[in-house]
A and B are shown apart, each in its own frame.
Chain A
């Protein structure tokens, strides 16, 4: 490999910049066409959506429930250890609930979702592209954006917020199990403390808003990476990796911004 001149380096940098802006633009156009464009869907959108909700949402339930349970249990255990040295073990319920609702619920669910469902979406669509199923659909007059992409996008948007709520409930239940049944925190003060400190508008709704934003971003990245990938086996594997990496980074970055907006005004 020969050494690059300064001019070539600058040119490469410019090319990278143009490519980034270009793919951002094409992904936005892609999103709008999939969501709002009109096209022939074939047999009923509801049926397609149900199928995708099953593979994206229902199939992710197991990992969400299991990790939610363990995260709630660990939070209660750690919280109890620290709080008991200040003699305020009953605040463990408040700590578990607030941590899960405000931060861990939306973020961990989105990360797990990117790994479990996002990567599968990318690989599936990429494989369809490489085996020319997408272009065959176009040949027979079915818009692949409407038939393949749109139901997957909507399934992701719907599933992730619901999964987040389930994650939080299971986590709090796991926390209650450890704190109340195992460590012997008094049950009444565990729940009363939680109810006193958690507000519906500020905590539950803000967590829900976070998870809606994450659902949008993660699904968009996953589906676009699949649609945009190089139609080779190597390209598909690279696109799948990109999905998980980009989605995770986007979730963590956005989480900070959203937290600053929601809880920043102390």
Chain B
């Protein structure tokens, strides 16, 4: 009898430990099991994607519909090539949709927002979004502002 309670205690302890690992994986790190089956890939080239990272959200009308899975440089056009995985249920994006890099809040993380176009043809798996809008770089903005004010003074 004493032995039995011992074994049950140890069994519960092992279960609790494994359950904790599972909770950390699913609830805390947001790992989803079997993801990647019901998604499709889209590409987009941006002139400047400063601050965009892998795992960043892809949204439409503020609703998350996918994430960025890879970022690399396109050698021929010298633009940043972003690979996105979108959920299969959003399969009705027109080919002239626009992808723009947005910022959550003033200092928040970067994400991609997609706004729909009006074309009849739809984007397919592996398609590319051509109409893109780059990340807003604060330094460029300040630079432009400074040049403007200098120009005004010289006039």
CB within 8 Å of B: which residues of A? 47, 50-51, 53-54, 57-58, 61, 88, 97, 101, 158-159, 161-163, 165-166, 168-169, 172, 191, 194-196, 198-200, 203-204, 208
Contact = CB atoms under 8 A, between A and B. Distances in A.
B28 A101 contact: yes
Most B CB contacts (10 A, CB to CB) among A47, A158, A195, A203 go to A195
Interface in B6-20: 6-7, 9-10, 12-14, 16-18, 20
Nearest to A172: B28
Contacts of A101: 24, 28
Contacts of B16: 61, 162, 166
Contact of A97 (B3, B17, B28, B55): B28
A214 to B, nearest CB: 15
B13 A204 contact: no
Interface of B: 3, 6-7, 9-10, 12-14, 16-18, 20-21, 23-25, 27-31, 55, 57, 105, 107, 109
B25 A204 contact: yes
A162 B6 contact: no
Nearest to B9: A58
Nearest to A60: B13
Contact of A162 (B13, B25, B57): B13
A208 B21 contact: yes
Contact of B29 (A50, A88, A161, A204): A204
A57 B13 contact: yes
Nearest to B22: A165
Given A50-B7, A58-B10, A204 B24 contact: yes
B96 to A, nearest CB: 30
B14 A162 contact: yes
Contacts of B21: 165, 204, 208
B29 to A, nearest CB: 4
B20 A53 contact: no
B17 A204 contact: no
Contacts of B9: 54, 58
A195 B13 CA distance: 26
A58 B11 CA distance: 10
A165 B109 contact: no
B10 A199 contact: no
Contacts of B17: 161-163, 165-166
B20 A200 contact: no
Sorted nearest first, the 4 A-B pairs with minimum C-beta distance are A162-B17, A195-B30, A165-B20, A200-B29
B102 to A, nearest CB: 15
Contacts of B12: 58
A166 B7 CA distance: 19
Nearest to A195: B30
A61 B23 CA distance: 18
Given A50-B6, A50-B10, A58-B9, A162 B31 contact: no
Contact of A169 (B23, B55, B105, B107): B23
Contacts of B14: 53, 158, 162
A50 B11 CA distance: 9
Given A51-B6, A169-B24, A58 B30 contact: no
